Amino acid sequence: MSCWSDMPREHHQHEAAQAQASGSSPASTRLEQAVPCVLELRHVTHYYAVRKSGLWHFSSGRRARKLRAVDHVSFTLQSGTTLSVVGESGCGKSTLARLAAGLLSPSEGVIRTGGRRLSSVRAGEINMVFQNPYAALDPRWRVRRSVSEALRPGGFLKSRRAVHDRTGECLSRVGLSPADGEKYPHQLSGGQRQRVCIARALASSPRLLICDEPTTALDVSVQAQILNLLRDLQRALGLSYLFISHDLPVVRYMSDDLAVMYLGRIVEMGPAESIFSAPRHPYTRLLLESVPDFTAMTHRRIRLAGDPPSPLDPPPGCPFHPRCPIATARCRVAKPAYTQHEDVLVACHAVEEGRGGIG
């Protein structure tokens, strides 16, 4: 499971208070792991500047407003494991993926891989598999060129023959033929195009793949093939995955660890099976209730009501309190700190206080 030693500052303060009360040191309350970490995020925040169009903005002299898409996110991903990030649309999942891939720079905080800052890693050490495989491939390029292009920035292979052989090897590894390298994207099916995208991501021998909704644009039967391919590649190559999705059954199948995001913050994080079997945060519980279960038709399901607040004007206190059925006055004014419950971290006043459930 992921390391929790780099949780947000409020968790460290709470941890120290617990340790002082119990007479133990803060370090003894942490979950120490010997497995090497491939990705670290420490208090990472990312803002988007939002400006009003037209002359009104310039004549009024007002500054651009800041949309906080990612809000002080911290986690550590261990080598050879999959950490999935789930949440509703607009919660900041894709922004987080682009930050981890180095496509965006954090407004605050630090991102490291292998103990080095992300900006200092070699090209191709972290690659990304995007949601739409057709949009991710240049329609004017043959598949061979799309895959081999990933080898050029870092100067991985010098000779044309070596590049040609490596391209064919990558296509074969994802279940395609080297002869498919002569085709154009429009000559391939959606599943084949996604296999090409995965082959391109593998070309530079990365340690980490960022998978941003990699099966959303595919048919259900093809989704299963791509997911099985990703798991086979992980076992064979020792890859680590940061897996972004809103499809909870897919996440349960793929994940070692799970982080639940709401309005830019992680509200619950821990081993995936622990969270799926016993969710603690009210948002996580309501999110899991939204998954259809045809084996329990008589079960009274509780719906997640309302829409998420605007990230331009987030509510004070707990960001989930306007939609939470068990929110109290404290939830409306105080932002919850992270508390540890067995092997899961939760940011919720109700969980900390041991209050009743939502059902």
Query: pLDDT digit string (tens) for 32-63?
Result: 344 568 999 999 999 998 876 554 455 455 66
Give first-to-last CA distance, the chain, whole Å: 29
**Mean pLDDT for the stretch of residues 23-36:** 40
Percent of the chain with pLDDT over 90: 60
**Mean pLDDT for the stretch of residues 201-218:** 92
Report whether pLDDT(16) > 70. no
Mean pLDDT computed over every residue of the chain: 84
Least confident of 15-19, 73-77, 164-168, 232-236: 15-19
Q: Tens digit of pLDDT for each residue in 126-148?
A: 999 999 998 999 999 999 999 99
Which of residues 99 and 14 earns the better pLDDT score? 99
pLDDT at 298: 54
pLDDT at 316: 92
**Mean pLDDT for the stretch of residues 227-255:** 95
Least confident of 3-17, 142-156, 172-186, 318-332: 3-17
Report whether pLDDT(114) > 80. yes
Q: Please choose, from the candidates 325, 350, 315, the residue with its C-alpha nearest in 3D space to the C-alpha of residue 336.
A: 350
User: How far does CA 78 lie from the centroid of its chain?
Assistant: 14
All domains of the chain, ordered by start, with CATH? Answer: 9-52+64-125+206-353 (3.40.50.300)
- The Cβ of residue 283 has, within 10 Å, a number of other Cβ atoms equal to 27
Q: Tens digit of pLDDT for each residue in 60-87?
A: 556 678 899 999 999 999 999 999 999 9
Neighbouring residues of 275: CB distance < 8 A, sequence distance ≥ 6: 258, 260, 268, 284, 344
List, in sequence order, every residue forming a beta bridge with 66; answer none if it has no partner.
49
Neighbouring residues of 222: CB distance < 8 A, sequence distance ≥ 6: 189, 190, 191, 194, 215
Least confident of 86-90, 227-231, 270-274: 86-90
Which of residues 219 and 55 earns the better pLDDT score? 219
Which of residues 12 and 206 earns the better pLDDT score? 206
